Structures are given as C-alpha cells and as structure tokens.
Structure 1
Amino acid sequence: MREPAFSGSLQLQSDTDKQFVPVSLVYSAMSVLESQRYALEDLDRLEQAIADRLLAPPKSHRAKIAQQHEIAKFLERIQQQSKFLLTSLEDPDGLRANEIEKIHGGQTSTPLDEFYKQYKEIKDFHRRYPNEPVDNLEENYRKKRKTETTEDEAAGGQSSAVDVIESMFTGEEHLGRYLDLVAFHERYLNIRGVKRVSYVQYFDVVDKFAQISKSSKDEEYFKYITALSSYLQSFLRRTQPLNDPDGMIDKIGEDFEKEWEEKAKEASTVEKADGPVENGWYCSACDKVFEKQTVYDAHFTGKKHKKNAENKKTGGSSHTSVQDLKARVIALREYEIVKLFEILAKERADTKVNVERKSALTVRERQLEMEALEREENGEEDSEDEDGAGEGSGGDGEDGKIYNPLKLPIGWDGKPIPFWLWKLHGLGVEYPCEICGNFVYMGRKAFDKHFVEPRHIHGLRCLGIQNSSLFREITSIQDALTLWNKIKREKRAQESMQEQAIEVEDDEGNVMSEKVYNDLKKQGLL
C-alpha cells in the first residue's frame, strides 16, 4: 500500500481567530496519483486564499501583521507541496509508473478488476475507522467573517488573534512599530571604556563601532553584539515575514565574506612597518598600536613581545590565529548590525522620535494615548457608545451621574464629547501662559482665544503694557517686557526724528531745528 503523501500535521493560521489548527494529510489508502491530485488541489486553494486576503486590505496595524504572517504560512505550505510534487513526478521509486500500469489492467487483470480491488480496500479502511474525519481544504483556508466566532470566543474566552500577535511583540515594540533596545542600552553602558549616553543618544551611537576602542572589545562586548544582532534578525522576521527576511540575512553574510576576503588580500600585500603611524606607534609582532612612544619603547623588553617576535620568525603562532578568528567573528556581528539597522532605518527613526515624545508627556497623556492606540488596534470606531453616552453604555446611572472615565469635556448636550472630536481639536494638548498666572489652556482654539480675554489683558496691564493687540502668541513675562521696551525705544526715536525734521532760520540766516530755536529763544540768546 502506498504511504501517504504527508505524515503528521501542518500548522495553518486562519485570518480572524489566528489559531494554529492541525490539518491532517494522513490517508492510509491514498495512492500516488491521488496524493498528487490532492497536492495540486491544495496549491489552488492556497493561491486563492492568498488572493482573498490581499484583496481585503487590513484596517489596523495588528491585522496587517497577522495577515502577513498568515500569508507567509501559506507560502511555506506552497513550497512544501511543490517540493513533494516535483519529487513525486520524477518517480524515483517507480511507484507512479506501476500504479498507472495497474489502472490499465496490466498483464494479469482488467481495468475493471483493478477498480473493484481498490474500491474494496477503501471500504475496508472506512469500516475499520468509521469516525475518521475528512479534511475540507476550502474550509481550512477560508477567511472567517466577523460574525463567526471560535469555540473559545463563544465560551467567553479571549480572541486568539490577541494571543498570537501580542505574544509575538513586547509592549515597547507596539506590534512592530518600534524597537525595544532598553536592555541593550543597559548592556552597552556596562562595556568597559564606552562613553555614558542617554537612551535617546544611544540610537545615534548603537552602530558606531569605530568609536569603541579595540581594548574594550572583550568577551562581554562580544556577547552584547551577538545578542543585539540576534534581536534585530528576530525583529526583521517578525515585522517583515513576506520580504524574505532569511534571504536578506543570508545576503548580509555573503557580502561580509566578500569584503573580508578583499581586506585580507589587501592586508597581505601591504604589511605595516614598525614605528610611528597615524594614531600612535605600531608593533607588527604584537599587532598593536601604542598611543605613547614611551610605552611603545618599554614593551620591547617584555616577555610577551619577545614571544610574539620569536613566533613571527618561526612562521606565526596559534595564538595569532585565535586572535584573527575572534576579530573576524566580532567584525561579522558588527557588519550584521550595521546592515540590519539600514534595513530597519524607518523603525529606528520612529523609535527615537517616540522615546523623545514620550519623555515630554505626562502620566495622564500617556494613559490616554495607550487607550486611543488600543481602540485603534482593535478596530473600534470612536463613537458616543464608547464614550459612555450611547444606548446601553450605562452613561447615565440611576443617580444621574455621567460615565466619563476619560475625563472628556462636556458638550452642548450635557454629555462628554466623542473621543475622536477631543483628539481632532487637540484638547489633550496643554498651553500654559505665564502672563495669566501660569494658567493652562487645553487645546489650540482656547489658547488663541484667550489673548483678547480679560484675564490676559489684565496680566499685561499689570506689567505696564497698554496695547495688548501687539502681544499675540507671547506668553512669557520676560518676552513681553522685552518687546514693550523695544516698542517704547522705537517710539521715542520716531518722535525725535519728527522734531529734527522741522527746520527754522533766525534773523542772521542760521538754520537750525525748531526745538533748538525755541530753546535759544527762551534763554534770550536770539
């Protein structure tokens, strides 16, 4: 009897519940031709399933990541089925040819006899296993509708979409939007000899390995760059499953091998000479650059230098080979990190901006932002129902209190305004004004309006400023006083110029300004 085309089970992921359900491909009575037909049908179903998902763009970032991973599973399944078909069609064991010959009757029986024989085998199989489930490929690859629920969801459990996708990323990664390098920043600061930098500054120096001295690249440094390279590879696989991440990583390794060989050839043709170099004094026996000449001269009498010099004369040493191997592995990890950051340049820039922005937010603003992001990722529409003002939301209790957990402003109808309107008008942004006694205005509209309100005008008059129309957008007391002094100086200069512009002439024909003429006349000099 022909063995089944596939043994075991394959993990497939549906579109909505994202659970990995086993699809059994074990058919004890499956022939070679039937297994090939089954594989061809499976390929058609997989292509149709991929097309169905690509024709329905995801509405949220979580749905996008889930769809990409699901399509990646389908593509992996296509490769497995195609590989089986190619091997089966080549027929290395001759099983396919024997089966075709049996179908035609062969030399000992007729085609009808062979048909009844196989029919009897199938009936015997189902008699022995009456409850054997039949796999439905159309149902396995079908995209679930929103109205359908899984057994766990029907029992009140959490949707597996949340389990699969959110367990794939950490909280700092925000479903693959940002990098989580907090732990690597701490390990970087523990490397001997590196300059202490903040987490924001770390994003600028994380791939600047030339700034780290060679003496600092010890075992701890190697563990650090190995872990960082592994994390970036994992992040690339999780966020870009359809861009062939393994192919990109392999390409990075191939490019490194080529560059390393080229550098090795250049180094073999050009050998450094002992003595002064660009950044110190070089010793070819120790393969080391000394910063000071006194240290360079003193090391010649050391046992280490004498041993290295002797090994150099006799054709090298195993120690040098070990050092070269370590340097090559470290260079490979550094090269991988640099190239991976080039691929993840957008995520790196977005992460830095997000860290800078979050450092300026208050605890309340961070909480509101997380709630808004959760709503967006869950595909919920911001409506009155969500804000506690819709039907059945429990907005107005028996005691008349309004349910307003987000502390949103109250609208004209006496109920909290919708969250999307609060976000649209920027009512969560604080605008403090020092002239108004450090009063904080919520939203740009209220901030622009307050410049003509009594509170702001009274604050300006307390500073001795009369014309408030010239002081829009100015909220600092120091800036307001500086501008007012400048306006007064310009006004005095303008009045002086007007006085100098009028000229008069005395009885003797002397021309002078009107002010000088009046002063001389009052003194009786004219």
Structure 2
Amino acid sequence: METILEQQRRYHEEKERLMDAKTKEMLHKKSTLRDQINSDHRTRAMLDRYMDVSANLRDSYEDKDGMRRDELAAISGPNEFAEFYNRLKQIKEFHRNNNALPCVSCRFPFPCLRSSRNLVEFSDEEGYGRYLDLHDCYLKFINLKGAEKLEYIAYLSSFDQLFDIPRTGRTLNTKSRYLEMLLEYLQDYTDRVKPLLDQNELYGKVLWTLRKNGRLGIFPKETSSALTHAGAHLDLSAFSSWEELASLGLDRLKSALMALGLKCGGTLEERAQRLFSTKGKSLESLDPSLFAKNPKAKGPKKDVERNKEIGFLESQVYEYVEILGEQRQLTHENVQRKQARTGEEREEEEEEQLSESESEDEDNEIIYNPKNLPLGWDGKPIPYWLYKLHGLNINYNCEICGNYTYRGPKAFQRHFAEWRHAHGMRCLGIPNTAHFANVTQIEDAVSLWAKLKSQKALERWQPDTEEEYEDSSGNVVNKKTYEDLKRQGLL
C-alpha cells in the first residue's frame, strides 16, 4: 500500500530521473537524420511524461480530497509510534507476498527506447523524414476546377502559391477540402519530423496575427524575388523618400501594398508614393480611398465566412511551408534527380537502398570518411575529384548572414537570393537589391547604402536650381534667380 507522502516522493524522484535522461539524450551525438528524429521522439516522450507527473504532483499537493491532510495528522498525532509500526508491518507483508514484482527504478521505461530502430513510421518516398510525399495532395490539386495543370516537380515549387487557386462560389468547397488535406499532411509530417515543435503555439500565433491585422482571408501574392520570399510586409523605417522605394520594383511594391490591403495598381511612381504615405501611420488614420475594395464582401454571408475559413487555412499552410523549407528543397532536388535517371538506374537504386536498409538493421557501421567529404544522394562520401571540381574545399563566410559559412562558390553565389541573407539585410535596414551583390561584410553594406542614398539625394529633382524661367527680355534663368530679380523689380 503506497501512502500519499510516498507517492509524492516517487513523483519527485521520477521527475529527477526524467530530467537527467533528457539531458543525456540532448547531449548524445546524432550522426544521421534517423538518429536525430528518434532522439527527438524519445525526448518528446520523456517531456510528456514529465508534464503528466508534474500535474499529478500538483494535484497531490493541492489536496482537494483531504487525504494528505489526514495522513499528516495520523503520523504526527498522539499515536505516531503505533502508526509507524503498523505501516512498517504492512510494508513487510506486502513485499513478502509480492517479492517477484520489479522495483520502481526497473519500471522506468525511457532508457531502453534507444534500442528501438524506428520510433515513427515514414513512407518510402519520405526517406525517414528527409523528403515530403505530396503525391496525394498533388492529385487533389490537379483535379481542382480552374487550377493550372502542372507536373509534380513544378507543383513542389508552387504548392504554397494558394492565391492562384480561384475563390469563386462553386470552388470554395473544393478549395477548402484541398487546403484541409494539405494542412493535415503538413501537420502530421511536422509532428513526425519535428516532434519537439509546439504546434499549439504555432496555431495561436497564426490566430493572433489574423485578429491583429483584422483582414481575415486576404493574403498577399508572393513573387519569386528574395525579398518577397521572406515576407510581403515591408519595413518603411529604412526609406527616407518614395524614390528609394521605387528602386525595389513593381512586384515588391505590389506585394507590400496588398499586405496592407491598399490599392496596388498604377505606375511605379504611384505605387511608391502610395506606400510611402503610410509611413509612421496606423491603418485607421489612412484615407479610406487608399484601400482596395473587397469584392467578396458583397457576396452572400455564407461565402464571406467560408473565405475567412479558407484564409485561416492558407495562413497555417504558409507557416508550415516556412518551417519545412529545407525538406521542401531536398524533395525538389530528389525528384529532379530521379527524373533524370533511366528505368534501369531507378531499379538499381531501389535494390541498393533495400540492401543498405538490411545492412543497417544488421550492423550500424560508421562510414569511413577521413577527409570529411560531404555525403552524396546515396549517403556515402562523394569522390574527392568531384569535391575539388566544385570547389567544396573553399569556405566562404558571410557576416550579414550571422557569420554563416557556405561551402563552394555555387552555394555562396546562390545564398544572396535566399532567405537568410535577405533577412540579414532587412535587419540592417537595407534593401537587398543588385547593388549589394557579393557584399558580405556589414560595414561594407552600410557604407555602400550611405553612398547610394547620397547619390540619390544628388539625383533628386531640385526645383530651385533646375526649374527654368524666362524674363521679359527672353533670358532663361533658374527659379531662384528669377525670384531674386522679381523682388528687386528688375524684370
């Protein structure tokens, strides 16, 4: 018979054991993606158990049923010695009758989980968490009315461009079902690949953002540039005039205007002026004529509500796509690599993968890689001549990316258009334009941005010196000279 105090002691002991096991699990080196995923699932299981034990311990200390209070009164009352010997007798009888049961420490389940090979199920296409398997969602997409019929590899590059799917009354239900299917897969895949990610917190973040903006169901169209890929909203604090905004181009200005719900038409100058007029102002203080009309608001109330639901689904899909950006890129490369092979090569690859999986089950040997070469698609080190050919022995460091190191000139040149470099430039308050190509130092980027701003200031229209006037004699003078002559009465 376990008393309340003994139960609390056991809960405290189990919490300490769980904390120690989680620490060892986090410090254990993971050599492969499979080991990392299995380790995360073990940590998740221990974390869940830790929270359950903490909840039980809290309920025990709250003592709503009064059992703990009665037990403390019994062992501290006038008959405490009689109570002690009575409980000691019960403990001896219990262990005498149940001496075959394991002790509490033997029932602790988590250290033995390391012996398990696979703690979560993945399809063959997913490669144990390395790739996405969007074939079912792709079949659902190409059957949507009005959707563009794409190949699977093109779908992998554009499945997050949900704005291309029409939102007419007849397609609302089919689009909603497609989004639910896509979101369900992304949630399930994220839960398997990143079990330590709190999806409830992600859900609350999306909901809070939509309520804050108050524009449920309206999402900006993303373009293919590095700036717009990082986000449609634009920080105007780094710009001092609308001419500087105009240097970003039509697509980026349109994306920023749509994110605010403003009209996005017109020329480059009109868009830049309209966006710059919102600097330092709240949406409520803007002129109502600047906002774009929402045609959906004129439709039936049912369609308006459905559009809000679809908007909420879209926002969740955008968040998960951002989280799974690495897996998405690897999936695209893997599909592209498979399409370049013949049928015989694909069959040989499947046989090799099968033999590799069988050999891994038998013996998990460490790959011999003394020169620390990068691994190829087969999980083995690439040839050294290929390593030298692509310049992978040369490392490039970018201070703007947080001193991130890129291996090889190809990866280094490609990173200027990727999200990490664009985010670093945005943190510096500098637009990621072509002027800053190959600039990796923060000091160089800041000095170049100051120089560009001074050049733009010189190129700006100055009416006092550049606007021309003609006097009564036919002489052409600038505005300042004309005003001086006019004040002196010499015209």
Structure 1 length as normaliser, TM-score? 0.51
> Which of 296, 317, 340 is matched with 1:360 structurally?
340
- Equivalent residue number for residue 331 of structure 1: 311
1:84/1:191 CA distance change after superposition, 3 Å: same
1:32 aligns with 2:17: no
- Equivalent residue number for residue 163 of structure 2: 210
> Which of 350, 363, 383 is matched with 1:424 structurally?
383
Q: SS of the counterpart of 1:59?
A: coil
More helix by share: 2
Matched letter for residue 187 of structure 2:
Q
1:197/1:244 CA distance change after superposition, 3 Å: same
- Equivalent residue number for residue 69 of structure 1: 41
In the TM superposition, what is the alpha-carbon distance from 1:287 to its structure 2 partner? 2.2
The answer to whether the Cα contact below 8 Å between 2:217 and 2:307 also exists between their aligned partners in 1 is no
With a CA cutoff of 8 Å and minimum separation of 6, indicate the structure with the bigger relative contact order.
Answer: 2
In the TM superposition, what is the alpha-carbon distance from 1:328 to its structure 2 partner? 1.3
1:229 aligns with 2:183: yes
The answer to whether the Cα contact below 8 Å between 1:49 and 1:143 also exists between their aligned partners in 2 is no
1:140 aligns with 2:140: no
The answer to whether the Cα contact below 8 Å between 1:382 and 1:420 also exists between their aligned partners in 2 is no
Provide, for residues 384-414 of structure 1, a one-character-per-residue CA deviation record: whole Å limited to 9, x for no partner.
Answer: xxxxxxxxxxxxxxxxxxxxxxxxxxxxxxx
Matches within 5 A, 1:323-402: 323-370=303-350, 371=352, 374=357, 379-381=364-366
1:420/1:210 CA distance change after superposition, 3 Å: closer
> Which of 188, 194, 218 is matched with 1:240 structurally?
194
The answer to whether the Cα contact below 8 Å between 2:22 and 2:43 also exists between their aligned partners in 1 is yes
Provide, for residues 205-258 of structure 1, a one-character-per-residue CA deviation record: whole Å limited to 9, x for no partner.
Answer: 212122222226332221111010111111111111123233223322332333
Distance across 1 between alignment mates of 2:385 and 2:345? 12
In the TM superposition, what is the alpha-carbon distance from 1:422 to its structure 2 partner? 9.6
Distance across 1 between alignment mates of 2:214 and 2:102? 56
In the TM superposition, what is the alpha-carbon distance from 1:124 to its structure 2 partner? 4.3
Distance across 2 between alignment mates of 1:93 and 1:344? 47
Distance across 2 between alignment mates of 1:55 and 1:337? 33
In the TM superposition, what is the alpha-carbon distance from 1:113 to its structure 2 partner? 0.6
Matched letter for residue 346 of structure 2:
R
1:192/1:141 CA distance change after superposition, 3 Å: closer
Structure 1: state its 5+ residue gaps: 1-28, 147-159, 289-319, 384-418, 428-526
In the TM superposition, what is the alpha-carbon distance from 1:143 to its structure 2 partner? 5.2
Q: SS of the counterpart of 2:30?
A: coil
In the TM superposition, what is the alpha-carbon distance from 1:380 to its structure 2 partner? 3.1
Distance across 1 between alignment mates of 2:139 and 2:180? 15
Q: SS of the counterpart of 1:355?
A: helix
Matches within 5 A, 1:408-487: 424=383
- Equivalent residue number for residue 404 of structure 1: none
Distance across 2 between alignment mates of 1:325 and 1:145? 48
In the TM superposition, what is the alpha-carbon distance from 1:145 to its structure 2 partner? 8.1
> Which of 184, 187, 195 is matched with 2:148 structurally?
195
The answer to whether the Cα contact below 8 Å between 2:153 and 2:336 also exists between their aligned partners in 1 is yes
Provide, for residues 321-359 of structure 1, a one-character-per-residue CA deviation record: whole Å limited to 9, x for no partner.
Answer: 322221111111111111211111111111111111111
254-263 or 73-82: bigger deviation: 254-263
Task: Give the % identical residues.
Answer: 27
- Equivalent residue number for residue 112 of structure 1: 81
- Equivalent residue number for residue 122 of structure 1: 91
Structure 2: state its 5+ residue gaps: 219-259, 263-282, 369-377, 387-491
> Which of 213, 219, 224 is matched with 2:173 structurally?
219
Matched letter for residue 223 of structure 1:
R
What is the Cα-based RMSD across aligned positions, in Å? Answer: 3.8
In the TM superposition, what is the alpha-carbon distance from 1:32 to its structure 2 partner? 0.8
1:137/1:283 CA distance change after superposition, 3 Å: closer
Provide, for residues 147-195 of structure 1, a one-character-per-residue CA deviation record: whole Å limited to 9, x for no partner.
Answer: xxxxxxxxxxxxx524x43xx2111111111111011111100001111
1:177 aligns with 2:130: yes
Matched letter for residue 342 of structure 1:
E
| Greater gyration radius | 1
Q: SS of the counterpart of 2:197?
A: coil
